[in-house]
């Protein structure tokens, strides 16, 4: 059986933990972005575009080499390649997430 003290401790710590976790995503240096034509664009948007381009290139390579007939679940394979290319672009330009 739980003691009343343990329950009151948990009800005090849980909201503080949620607030702490919600606050850790904000850093003082701002969001990673780059200047393009005088406006700042988020770096994640650029990396998403790189990933989409990587998925399209992977699909074209599959079709050109004949692998499109042998690889099952091509949508998922090309999506996974696109995600990997986008994350690799993020790591190359911004570095690991602290």
In the numeric block, which tokens belong to residue 34?
A: 């780059």
Tell me if the pTM is above 0.75: no
**Tens place of pLDDT for every residue, the chain, 98 residues?**
555 555 666 677 777 777 666 665 555 566 677 777 777 778 888 899 999 999 999 999 999 999 999 999 999 999 999 999 999 998 998 777 65
Residue by residue, DSSP assigns 6-70 as HHHHHHHHHHHHHHHHHHTT--TT---EEEETTEEEEHHHHHHHHHHHHHHHHHHHHHHHTGGGT
């Amino acid at each position: 059986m739980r003691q009343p003290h343990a329950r009151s401790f948990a009800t005090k710590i849980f909201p503080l933990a949620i607030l702490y976790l919600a606050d850790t995503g904000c850093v003082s240096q701002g969001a990673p972005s780059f200047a393009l034509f005088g406006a700042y664009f988020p770096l994640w948007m650029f990396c998403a575009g790189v990933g989409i381009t990587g998925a399209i290139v992977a699909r074209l390579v599959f079709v050109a080499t004949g692998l499109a007939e042998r690889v099952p679940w091509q949508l998922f394979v090309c999506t996974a390649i696109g995600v990997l290319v986008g994350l690799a672009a993020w790591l190359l330009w911004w570095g690991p997430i602290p």
